[in-house]
Structure 1
Amino acid sequence: MYIIAGLGNPTKTYEGTRHNIGFEVIDRLADRCRTQVTVRKNKVLYAKAILEGERVILIKPQTYMNLSGEAVREVADYYKTEPENIIVIYDDINLEPGQLRVRQKGSAGGHNGIKNIIAHLGTQEFPRVRVGVGEKPKGWDLADYVLARFSPEDRKIMDEAVDLAADAVEMILREGVAAAMNTYNAKKK
């Protein structure tokens, strides 16, 4: 069994923001599985599904971004899932809008949601799909930037990126992280 966690912030206030791109990818995966991530249990919204022949739990932590690890750890403990079977999808300001990076493991790279997941899992060794949302413009506060919505031009790019990120997750399940890295890390926007 795999846990697929898309990071974001709960409530309609944050829908469509850069920080919520992980939630959007989870919703796209749920659509492909003909389900919805609407069941509430403790600190997550979740859905059980079959994706690429694998049993998966799709989750959207409801703890707010900086405490994502609490929710991921709770679900991992409940389903007795090892970190290598937890795929995390999140926004990355170090990548151009729509650019993807798949990784087997690694540091948080300054992302507070990932820092918290690493702290709660006690390891950096879990696969992740980073979705580029673009660099913060000069003079902007980082929090204001990641909590802002995309420009109409970037929104079109991000809609495509959400599909690509969902494709990358499916490839991880089907062929492994290395195959997804070879396919999606080579693509440039």
Structure 2
Amino acid sequence: MANDVWLVVGLGNPGDRYSTTRHNVGQMVVDVLATRMGEQFRRHSRAGAVVAEGRPVPGGPKLVLAKSTGYMNTSGGPVSQLAQYYGVPNEQVIVVHDELDLPFDTLKLKSGGGHGGHNGLRDISSALGGGDYVRVRVGIGRPPGRQDAADYVLKPFASAERDNLAVLLEDAADAVESVVAEGLLAAQQRFHAKA
């Protein structure tokens, strides 16, 4: 029987200073999923992360939602530790992260591939021994003008973006649930068509 547990990791940095920044959009999405399941995050005893566990659909697969308690660039260790603890294979790990190369308010889903310069993905791929996990890429757009990308991702969403942010987070949470319930291809067909 296949493992019915999925590990869903929201990337971001710890603390209030970063909680509303573009770089933390992955953590915002897993917060939406936790709220939907009526679950609270708690510190995990074997990994540098907080987790919330539940089944969005009674009798359906279990989701382990996770947020590293360290910085994004060191997400690999906690993700690997949680995958081992719960016995989750790489193909049932879903990483939700910000994506500079997609326009704001856009979602793309894929499995495998490189890290595209994203240090959180680089560290996770290294710790898992490869990049064969699912990515929910949440578009945050490119910085305007000559603004440095590192500065841009660590700034809060602009007021014009905040109007659509709640819908984007709900859509990304729907995409995670769709991957688990219907598979990646069906989820791609549904969410890529919206782009």
What's the TM-score bracket when you normalise by the shorter of the two chains?
over 0.9
1:140 aligned residue: 147
Runs of 4+ in structure 1 over 6 Å off: none
Query: What's the TM-score once normalised by structure 2's chain length?
Result: 0.93
**Structure 1 contact 100–185 (Cα < 8 Å) conserved:** yes
8 Å CA contact 1:7–1:23 kept in 2: the answer is: yes
Aligned match of 1:126: 133
Q: Which runs of 5+ in 2 are unaligned?
A: none
Give the counterpart of 2:12 among 8, 11, 21: 8
Q: Is the 8 A contact 1:44 1:60 kept in 2?
A: yes
Question: Is structure 2 residue 24 aligned with structure 1 residue 17?
Answer: no
Unaligned runs of 5+ in 1: none
Conserved in 2, the CA contact under 8 Å of 1:63 and 1:70? no
CA deviations 1:34-58 (Å, max 9, x no partner) are 1122334341010111124111110
Conservation of the 8 A alpha-carbon contact between 2:142 and 2:149: no
Q: Could you tell me how far apart the structure 2 residues matched to 1:51 and 1:73 are?
A: 23
CA RMSD in angstroms comes to: 1.1
Aligned with residue 38 of structure 2, among 1, 25, 34: 34
TM-score (structure 1 length as normaliser): 0.96
Q: Helix, strand or coil for the counterpart of 1:59?
A: strand
Contact 2:18 2:24 in 1 (8 A): yes
Identity of aligned residues (%): 38
- 1:60 pairs, out of 57, 60, 67, with 67
Counterpart of 2:109 in structure 1 is: 102
Shift of 1:141: 1.7
Q: Which moved more, 1:70-79 or 1:17-26?
A: 70-79
Amino acid at match of 1:51: P
Q: Is the 8 A contact 1:7 1:90 kept in 2?
A: yes
SS in 2 for 1:13: coil
